[in-house]
Structure 1
Amino acid sequence: MTNTQQQIGNATLLQKHKVAFLAASHISTLSVLPTLEWAAQLARREDVAVVSGFSSRMEEEVLHILLRGKCGIILMLGRQHYKVLPNVWQKPLADNRLLIISTSKQTRQSRQAAAERNAKVCDMADEVVMPCTPPEDSSLHRLYEIHRSNLKLLLTK
């Protein structure tokens, strides 16, 4: 990963209260509904920005909800920027609700780049949210342990 970060969008989103959202590839099915409800509530707020890589299935679902809302969205890519941005991102960009940060010049995201990206997501956030405790074999488990004091689990069972 390089130290150079490339940005597209509204950099003032970095000044808002930042909520990191990270979800492992495999999560408890019991955490899905609370996570979607949390995303819908957060999407209505203009005073926050949700920061994530939005690459796991649950993270993508949350992104779809947030894109329809009012909150800021900071998308951290563990790869280089897209040559053509998806159409669904055009309106949030035009509305100054989206910031896309590329943390790597790689054309494809590697596991290491994703892990480094997720660590940056947590480090820049004011709070960290996960749907549930990540499995011990998940790359997110280490971040869960590190940020435990500043972390909210949406499913606490």
Structure 2
Amino acid sequence: MTQSPNVILYYLDAGFPFFDKYPLLPHLSHHDGKKVDLSYLYQDEKGNFTNLKPSISGYGVFESSDENEYNTTRFCKENGYFQYDYPKFLTLGQTDSKLTFSNQWNKKLMHSILANDAVTKVFIEPHLVKRLGLIDNRIRFHGCGAVRHDDHIHIQI
């Protein structure tokens, strides 16, 4: 893997443009210009960084918890939050099933995001917080009433 790949950072939603205070589904917010979703970073089957994403929309292909990680998705769905993995219907098609979540580059990305004092909240799934070794009081669990955040990063300023 190269020391510094040419990273293209994809933003997925920063607010729906047609009506004031109308968030793009399935969002509960994203209507005030202070929230943005970013795609995670991936590697190919050889372990090389790639700017490719596993879905066309950037949503709906999840980095699920490993066996030794807490399964928030199971907990939320077992407790009646059916919408928790709703973004699986928003992929607009998958692009490459051989792509894998890059722990190394996503950790670097998260540190870059958190280096900005304007960032007030970051939503990612608890198992990814643990896996990436992230410690920052701005990283929050969004709750079961929202959608899962292991297919994208939610940032709020």
Higher strand share: 1
The two structures share one fold, judged by TM-score above 0.5: no
Structure with more relative contact order (C-alpha pairs < 8 Å, separation 6 or more):
1
Taking structure 2 as the reference length, what is the TM-score of the superposition? 0.35
Taking structure 1 as the reference length, what is the TM-score of the superposition? 0.35
Higher helix share: 1
